[in-house]
Structure 1
Amino acid sequence: MQDFFHKIAATVESLLQAGEQSTCWFSAESTDFVRFNRSAIRQPGHVIQRLLTITLIQGARHANTSLTLSGQLDEDQAMLADAIAQLRLQLPDLPEDPYLLIATDVQDTTQLLPSNTVSTDSIVDQILAAAQGYDMVGILISGSLYRGFANSLGQRNWYEVANFNFDWSLFHAADKAVKSGYAGFEWDGRAFSGKFADAVQRLSLLAIPPVTIPPGNYRAYLAPAALNELIGMLNWGGVAEKSLRTHQSPLRRMRTGDAVLHPSIKLSEDSRTGLAPGFQAKGFIKPPIEPLIQDGKLVGSMISPRTAKEYGLVSNGADDDETANAMVMQPGSLSMDQVLAELGTGIFISNLWYLNFSDRANCRITGMTRFATFWVEDGKIKAPLNVMRFDDSLFRILGDKLLALTQETEVIMDDRSYGERHTGGTIVPGALLGEMSFVL
């Protein structure tokens, strides 16, 4: 696939005329999709696709187009010639872009991550064996992802990884279910069996009649999947330099020093994880690690080339939306085996849903509990908890109300596949809170 991309990039460059420059962004995959329902395979499939975005640049004017490539070089070369000709016709009618920034420092990179050596067939066999006798629904996504960048200055960047993402739920009855996930780069049968056994154990607890507690402030534990939902809200402009500059970021009080998080909060964009490419669509290279929050203080941000040009900054390889694609939160000292004992009496939250900002200026978020949330008394799960709505600020939840982070972390990959399979994800621990506000 890498050789094919290099030939495509060379073809584009051969079509350029005097004064023109080009960039190419290549996005491809070879993916197995397997959907399960009632613990049986309902829809297996395999997708191979190659997408190419070409940008033609002349001075400060630029235009781009996206193509689906066949993989047959002669066919694709003819299509590329037509695409370049169409872009060339558009350029004279376009205004100059004052914030266009081109990567002129040629930096070639290659990221080839270890492949998942377990076949999809073998993974499916393990899933079906574990799910026998249970009502399971889920989707397995497994295969290779490819990303490439090339420009007419000669820069070449390549990212290739094989990974898997299995997202599933075990149903008890009606809307009572346990939602789980297992993702990574190398399938480990024992690790999967442990996760499935944990889900089965929580499923048995759903047979207990659920309880309802009144709104109020409760001690709480956020499992990694729940904490991931909260941390993910920071990608709605939270760590974006443009949003911080225009005072739209929910973390802008941290930029001014008016708010801090707990000193144990350390959050970084970490390209070394392999969750996402170490370069972006305009050819700017990401540092191996970009600290965002250290010791509870905002120390960095995601800076796109356009924002860098507008404000006279140096881009750190962020995409135009300035989101973090490989966010890592450092773990703490609490063992997951001790979570219930340390929680004492309170709420064990496996998942959070339907999150939104209720007060963006104060980083206040509202959302719902769902899927195996339990009421705990004296370190023991007493009953499932009926759905509740929380409304609280990250400045509190991850500030003075944070008691501990777990030693163990979980890899949670981006499972979106609209148009194409996405890269990216997070690595997060669980969090024990002294207090969390529930309003309904």
Structure 2
Amino acid sequence: MSHQQQFEDLVATLKGALTGTEQFTLAYSAEVSDFIRFNHAKVRQAGRVQQASLSFKLIDDGRHADLQLTLAGDTEVDRQRLHDALQQLRETLILLPRDPYLLPNTQDWFSSQVQSQPLPDATHVVERIDSLAAGLDLVGFYAAGPLYRGFASSWGALGWHQANSFNFDWSLFHTNGQAVKANYAGHTWDDDAFARRLQLAREQLEFLGQPLRTLAPGQYRAYLAPAALEEVMSMLCWGGFSAQDLASKSSPLQRLYNGDVQLSPLVSIDEQVIGSLSPAFSGEGYPRRDLSLIAGGVAREQLVGSRSAAEYNLQANGAGWGESPSALSMAPGTLALEDILHKLGTGLYISNLWYLNYSDQPAARLTGMTRFATFWVEDGKIQAPVSTMRFDDSVYSLLGSALEELTAERELLLSASTYSQRQTDSNHLPGALISRLTLTL
């Protein structure tokens, strides 16, 4: 029985077991994933995980209760687990008060999206890594396989989603302990694209053997590679586009959405659901569509979950828990990759950032550290690696007045999280050339 058939069988089972005014929502999640760990460019651990689970919500007379179920893959066993869960939730519901912000989607809808691009054979991937990383101290983690998501409700909604993806996250270590971090991810494996990505990391590794350059605090021209920009965007996603945070005046992008400030006209950010790894429906049962969050530096739409919709009289648009983007896409610019160092001139080439936090959240001001391969560039040529530095700057500068150009080529960065299960979150980002970045120590 396929994953979709397994899910639809359980939906039918549950519909037949309801009584009276009971309603339900059922969200399905499954994966078949290959995991391979590398150390010194050799395979140290390999395995496969197959798992499936349900998130079951029972609703009756304004009350609701939830239960998570792990499925066994045996039809009769799983049906019995679902019946047991239904009884447990019935016993729980009578103890609960009515929820004033419960707003289930009572519309019937249908959605089916199957991305079935063939994934590379794990043996082929290992052979390519072994060949291209010969002689390097490579430490990495490769995860690949299909992800499945489903949703159904007693009101007739039915959604199915399958997306095949791979994600290879790795670091190259120099003998002095310095490292270059890199990533290659997507739907379709390309040997040439992977070779170019690894070659760039290899070239950066060579510069790490030079003495570290220590910079004085101050403002410097800088280039943020897509992985570094992702750290900035990840901070903004913590409430930046959330209807709940915007309504409660706690969003870091409050001033932007109020119309008090704007970002650079170069900045356009979408929640790009179509074609992404993320399903076109939420775990609450609301269909999702592409959203224009920022267009030409001006705030547009926001992410609205059902509870925010009920509390603030808004229209729910399929936002999940936390109302954060799960398929964020920033529009590209015109800067060619081969021109980055030339356009930077003299300044910082920053591959990664880490330990970010807000130093002034209402001002969207961030602080954090440079990480891994950060280089000092003079006259368009890398001169030396830079000692770890702390920056403190506002997004209204980094993506506003100080933003000069965005790269024409973007990088697809998939979530590397495997906590509980592989995730479907993604960021599609360019690199950013910035006229001034403030280093504090």
- Whole-angstrom CA distance in 2 between matches of 1:137 and 1:302: 37
CA contact (8 A) 2:119 2:165 kept: no
Q: For residue 328 of structure 1, what is the aligned residue in structure 2?
A: 329
Q: For residue 401 of structure 2, what is the aligned residue in structure 1?
A: 400
Please give the residue correspondences for 1:25-424 in structure 2 after superposition, counting only pairs within 5 Å: 25-287=27-289, 289-424=290-425
- Fraction of identical pairs, as percent: 44
CA contact (8 A) 1:305 1:320 kept: no
**What stretches of structure 1 of length at least 5 have no aligned partner?**
none
Which amino acid counterpart does residue 253 of structure 1 have in structure 2? R
Q: TM-score, normalised by structure 1?
A: 0.99
Which amino acid counterpart does residue 320 of structure 1 have in structure 2? W
- Whole-angstrom CA distance in 2 between matches of 1:438 and 1:275: 36
User: How far does residue 173 in structure 1 lie from its aligned partner after superposition?
Assistant: 2.5
- Whole-angstrom CA distance in 1 between matches of 2:173 and 2:319: 40
CA contact (8 A) 2:107 2:156 kept: no
CA contact (8 A) 2:119 2:166 kept: no
Deviation by residue 1:26-47 (Cα, 9 ceiling, x = unmatched): 0100000000011111111110
- Whole-angstrom CA distance in 1 between matches of 2:67 and 2:369: 40
Q: TM-score, normalised by structure 2?
A: 0.98
- Whole-angstrom CA distance in 2 between matches of 1:311 and 1:165: 39
- Whole-angstrom CA distance in 2 between matches of 1:434 and 1:392: 12
Could you say what secondary structure the match of 1:133 adopts? Answer: coil
User: How far does residue 131 in structure 1 lie from its aligned partner after superposition?
Assistant: 1.3
- Whole-angstrom CA distance in 2 between matches of 1:77 and 1:34: 33
- Whole-angstrom CA distance in 2 between matches of 1:364 and 1:354: 14
- Whole-angstrom CA distance in 2 between matches of 1:114 and 1:217: 47
User: How far does residue 115 in structure 1 lie from its aligned partner after superposition?
Assistant: 2.1
- Whole-angstrom CA distance in 1 between matches of 2:321 and 2:141: 30
User: How far does residue 3 in structure 1 lie from its aligned partner after superposition?
Assistant: 0.9
User: How far does residue 175 in structure 1 lie from its aligned partner after superposition?
Assistant: 3.2
- Whole-angstrom CA distance in 1 between matches of 2:73 and 2:295: 45
**What stretches of structure 2 of length at least 5 have no aligned partner?**
none
- Whole-angstrom CA distance in 1 between matches of 2:363 and 2:270: 21
- Whole-angstrom CA distance in 2 between matches of 1:216 and 1:402: 17
Deviation by residue 1:321-356 (Cα, 9 ceiling, x = unmatched): 101000000000111110000000000000001111
Runs of 4+ in 1 over 4 A off after TM superposition: none
Count the aligned residue pairs: 439
Larger deviation, residues 322-331 vs 7-16: 7-16
User: How far does residue 174 in structure 1 lie from its aligned partner after superposition?
Assistant: 4.2
Could you say what secondary structure the match of 1:407 adopts? Answer: coil
Could you say what secondary structure the match of 1:220 adopts? Answer: strand
Which amino acid counterpart does residue 247 of structure 2 have in structure 1? R
CA contact (8 A) 1:208 1:384 kept: yes
- Whole-angstrom CA distance in 2 between matches of 1:131 and 1:19: 61
Deviation by residue 1:262-312 (Cα, 9 ceiling, x = unmatched): 01100010101322111111110011x100001101111100011011111
Larger deviation, residues 117-126 vs 140-149: 117-126
Larger deviation, residues 171-180 vs 89-98: 171-180
CA contact (8 A) 2:119 2:187 kept: no
